[in-house]
Chain A
Amino acid sequence: MNRCEYCLEHLSAYIDGEMSESEMKDIEEHLKECDSCAHEFDILKTIVSTCSELEEELPDGFSSSLHTRLEKAREDMTADRNRKGKIKLFSQIAAGFVIVVTLGFAIRLGFFDTGSTRNGLVAGKKSASDAAPMALGPSVVEFSAPRIVGQEDNRSAGAIREDAEDPQKHSIAQSMDNIPDDIKNQEDSGVIVHFKESSDKTAITEKYNTEITIYVDDIGKAIESIMAIDEKIGKSRESNTAYLEDYIKAYRGGTRSNVVELKLVYTSEKVEKCFINEIQSAFPDIQVDSVPSSDKGQDEDEFIKIIIEKKN
């Protein structure tokens, strides 16, 4: 490479001061001697300095429309922060009570087409009779059926409120008011039912698997709490303890992602139920979802899946 070629190739770096002092000096000396390169340098320097002066003024109303968008973003964020953790129970034959409310509501919102509605309705009715732990009267099943078919929105919502004698039903009636917004934020369109009582009432009837979502500030701590619960129950089948220990080591040592997914295995439904109870008391800000098995999780029968997400 002759000196001119070298110079032209490095003119940009020279203008930007992105070379060593001795290299700068080389170019400088060459520019003094070589008119052609010096001319190139003048042109390039003019272009570069013009580039940095290209700034244009902000358009009118930029700040005010930005302000509106920031307000909106803050609202969305607040809504997001209020997200609660969830326990999703994927029932093979789901608790009728929950399904009934779920379907009734889902139809109100138009989540299912008519065909799937009818199928779901049958499942709901059938399981309702199986759902002994729920201790709910048949009236609940009754109200759901005609309204699903008739799609009379106000009446179905009203009927729930009329039935709201015990606090559990009441809480469902209340939570229904909140559902539309919640649903928009959910990836799946499963309906959320808040259970504030002990999870004995969560109607775990048949085989199920469970997905638990927890939003926490400190993922490491959350894993530790889960380890403690696991130890307390002490009935891990495939050595959850070792698995969790590995996990927390990996988490502490390496990449601290914002989402951690754990899968735990327990010997029996009873132990699983016990585990869910413990999780609920360890993370009180958690809600229970029951999702029809047709929607999700059929291939994950044996697991409790725990998703721990870092709060924003």
Chain B
Amino acid sequence: MDATEKKLIELSVSGDIEAFETLIQSHQKRVYNIALRMTKNHEDAQELAQDAIVRAFTSIGKFRGDSSFSTWLYRITMNVCTDFLRKRNKAVVISMEQGAVANDSQQSIQIEEEAPGPDELVEKNQLKKMVRDAMDSLSDEHRQVLILRDIMDLSYKEIADTLNVNEGTIKSRINRARSGLKKIIMQRSELFQDYVVKYIRKGGNS
């Protein structure tokens, strides 16, 4: 924790909203995106992201610096989101398979309509859309683990700690989640393979 962050945390503990806003400035977009990937819609995401940030503000006195501030904030966000999903899923239970199948035809049509343009950016955006849509079709558990890994950029150990399961479980869960993601994408679009080839050839893949 650097000195500025430490100072901002101290001020936030004393109720200084401006200091807290400065503190979360560079993290709020990620908080929002975690919520967005978890809830799959913008309205809930905004609500939950703000819930999480407000909760961080009111309990910042309990932040002990065991992890970085951002990790702490993202964990709160994840907790807020899983609580929300748990409640929502109690109300509406939809089989993930059904959901995925129902979206299938629509999906492939969309992709064909937005046929690959010459513009690299268009392709890249299309690729993103495919991955995003596929991610939304994953189970909550698999989506969560990929958010923790790929959006929050946590190590396997940190993910294991956050979810309170052992590292081996996380390792295989991430592998299964990614296989699932790949499977959905491949089912939906044969074009994906072409994208991959082009994408790699163009050096878009680091």
A contact set with B: CB distance below 8 Å: 9-13, 16, 18, 42-59, 62-63, 65-67, 69-71, 73-74, 76-78, 312
- Residue pairs across A and B with CB atoms within 8 Å: the count is 115
Known pairs A67-B21, A70-B54; A56 contacts B36 (CB<8 A): yes
Other contacts beyond A51-B181, A54-B33: 7, CB < 8 A: A42-B197, A43-B192, A49-B205, A50-B131, A51-B135, A55-B151, A62-B32
Name A66's closest neighbour in chain B (CB-CB).
B50
Q: Which residues of A contact B182 (CB under 8 A)?
A: 43-44, 47
Per the CB 8 Å criterion, the residue count for chain B at the interface is 48
The distance in angstroms between the C-alpha atoms of A60 and B182, with both chains bound, is 33
> Which residue of chain A lies nearest to B177 when distances are taken between CB atoms in the complex?
A12
A44 to chain B: which residues have CB within 8 Å? 178, 182
**Cα–Cα, bound, A47→B186 (Å):** 11
Contacts of B61 in A (CB 8 A): 312
Across the A-B interface, the 4 shortest Cβ-Cβ residue pairs = A51-B150, A12-B175, A50-B131, A52-B150
Complex Cα gap A10–B172 (Å) = 8
Q: Check B178–A47 contact: CB distance below 8 A.
A: yes
A53-B54 in contact (CB<8A): no
* Secondary structure call for the A interface: helix
Judge if B156 is at the interface, Cβ distance under 8 Å.
yes
| Cβ contacts under 8 Å, B54 to chain A | 66, 69-70, 73
Is B28 within 8 A of A66, CB to CB? yes
Contact A50 B206 (CB under 8 A): no
Task: From known contacts A66-B53, A70-B17, A70-B20, infer whether A46 and B150 are also in contact, taking CB-CB under 8 Å.
Answer: no
Please measure, in the bound complex, the distance between the C-alpha atom of A11 and the C-alpha atom of B49, giving whole angstroms.
Answer: 32
How distant is the Cα of A130 from the Cα of B160 in the complex, in angstroms?
Answer: 64
